[in-house]
Structure 1
Amino acid sequence: MRAWRAAATLAFALAAGTAQAGALRYCDTPTELTHEQRDRLFRFAEVVRSELQGSGQRVALVSRAGIDLSRFGERYSHAGLTLQGSAMAPWSVRQLYYACEEKRPRLFDQGLTAFLLGMGGSDGGYVSLVFLPEEAATALERTALDDRAALSLLAGEYSANAHAWAQRYLNCNQWVAELMGMAWGGTPAGADARAQAQGWLRGAGYAPHEFRVGFAPMMWLTAVVPWLHHADHPPEDLAGAVYRVSMPSSIEAFVHARWPQARRVEFCQAGTRVVTRQGWTPIAAGCTAEPGDRVLALD
């Protein structure tokens, strides 16, 4: 029974996490925040923005905890790139999202505060920033701001559980991973842009996250969920009840392994309390501060 519940949770959590932005995060009307909750969110966003502005950098990997995947050991569900030089507004987030009415993936630039509206809880959540060394950051910023390059990786239909080494489907985190492959591998935009970016990622040691469902028949629950697919997953993975999917954690792990000097900052908000931590050790569940963390009150 536990395996059935776990598999169902993963299937529908991935389905709910269709990587949509702000009010587009789900294909349903989003939960309305109270005036007090919205005010706290705006102030929390200013804490994150202040870190970006004071970083001396022009680009950062940003991840938010939008869907509760804690049962599977995952905190973050959605990643994008926050860019100081965005044409929309400084530090807007460039990301992939699923356009519900069109039923296809789209590229979307969104203000930082609106991006944080996608956090899972009405009283707060978790956000992570990763700052790269100069050479890596420069290449990533250049590629992310190049519309032709960014759009060339949009090939494929949307699937929340898109297999990391296939090109039939795509999701938000896979787009970020492939953009990094294009930026750092120097792979070209074009009809085979995704295959070439994936080829570089494989050679560089990128490893997608493995979701182990634990009960193979439950994999087919996804047949009733329009944002989940099996066609791109190898038969041996389906038989073993495994999804190999790009997630913020796998992207961060790749960056940290390739550039140990990369800097990570994590933020959490719990009601009126904000905790900020420098470093690669995650903040504990419950937004619990430890020595060395910075704690602010939003009141």
Structure 2
Amino acid sequence: MRRLLMCLAWLLCLPLVAHAGNDCREQQLPPAKVAAAAETALRAVAALEQMDAPVALVARVGTDLSRHGLVYSHAGFVVRDHAQGRWTVVHLLNECGSDRSGLYAQGLVNFFSDDLINQDLRIVWFKPDIARRLATRLQQMPRHGLHHPHYNLIARPGSRDYQNSTAWLVEMIASAIADKPIYDRTAAYAFARGDGFLPETIHVPYTQRVLGGLFTANVDFTDHPIATRLSGDYPVVTVRSIFRYLDRAGHTEHVQEWRNGHLMSVPGPA
């Protein structure tokens, strides 16, 4: 049965071409990478089916962030019984390296097929009341989606002018945690800060910005004040900062993580 499911997943995802989030050149993933993504997707589905929860947070390793001490670079909400399928990932993606973004609904195989560094995986389940409210909100999208289409990879947390994938996650989570629904991005981030969310500080030296070619359409340092740009210490919303927030604030119900295909004990956020 497991082999059959992997074969079906492989067949469904074989014609993989340009995803949002890269430069949109047509490309087809090697069968081995598609098979690895299918195996990770099956692993995730098995764990999700064991928990009676309508939504969870699922994280992947798309970029090597080890120089910043980080593991997971991207995350999304995996929604049960979504219009697109039993377990569908809803997440924000940069569109082809431009300054724009969109909200996407993808199957788990596609989510783990996006030319990742590895197939490590972490799933975080929310407390039941939060999960219920968040799932309802996600099922209603794009209505009340708290999406700002102007993308900035290094968006300042709470920025009115820019948003990235992790900032969107925090704002959506806050909108579900609050006792009353929040339909404004600024109010959502303010609630998260008041509830204990703290962004991470990422150091980007000026020389790296200039010589490292970081001036691209999807990166805008001017979203941050001059003092931040001079110091090179940028506050950003990372996947780890989201994990830490949920854990500290008591919003986490359960966590599972796999490294190199093996289920691990979870000592803390990564």
TM-score, shorter chain, exceeding 0.5: yes
**Which amino acid is 1:52 matched to?**
L
Q: Residues of 1 paired with 2:69 and 2:20: CA distance?
A: 26
User: What does residue 206 of structure 2 align with?
Assistant: 216
Q: Structure 1 pair 260/175, CA: closer, same or farther in 2 (3 Å)?
A: closer
SS of the residue aligned with 1:27?
A: coil
Contact 2:99 2:217 in 1 (8 A): no
SS of the residue aligned with 1:167?
A: coil
Deviation at 1:222, TM superposition (A): 6.0
SS of the residue aligned with 1:93?
A: strand
Q: Residues of 1 paired with 2:18 and 2:135: CA distance?
A: 23
Runs of at least 5 residues in structure 1 that lack an aligned partner in the other structure = 1-20, 284-299
Q: Structure 1 pair 87/169, CA: closer, same or farther in 2 (3 Å)?
A: same
Q: Would you say how many aligned residue pairs link Structure 1 and Structure 2? A: 252
User: What does residue 5 of structure 2 align with?
Assistant: none
User: What does residue 14 of structure 1 align with?
Assistant: none
Decide which of 234, 248, 251 is 1:243's aligned counterpart: 234
Q: Structure 1 pair 227/194, CA: closer, same or farther in 2 (3 Å)?
A: same
Deviation at 1:135, TM superposition (A): 1.4
**Which amino acid is 1:188 matched to?**
I
Deviation at 1:35, TM superposition (A): 2.4
Q: Structure 1 pair 261/38, CA: closer, same or farther in 2 (3 Å)?
A: closer
Pairing of 1:272-291 with structure 2 (within 5 A): 274-281=261-268
Decide which of 79, 82, 92 is 1:86's aligned counterpart: 82
User: What does residue 112 of structure 1 align with?
Assistant: 108
TM-score where L is the length of structure 2: 0.84
TM-score where L is the length of structure 1: 0.77
Q: Structure 1 pair 125/44, CA: closer, same or farther in 2 (3 Å)?
A: closer
User: What does residue 71 of structure 2 align with?
Assistant: 75
* Range moving further from structure 2, 231-240 or 67-76: 231-240
C-alpha RMSD over aligned residues: 2.4
Deviation at 1:83, TM superposition (A): 0.4
Q: Residues of 1 paired with 2:188 and 2:167: CA distance?
A: 11
SS of the residue aligned with 1:91?
A: strand
Contact 1:119 1:126 in 2 (8 A): no
User: What does residue 57 of structure 2 align with?
Assistant: 61
Q: Structure 1 pair 242/53, CA: closer, same or farther in 2 (3 Å)?
A: same
User: What does residue 266 of structure 1 align with?
Assistant: 257
Contact 2:22 2:97 in 1 (8 A): no
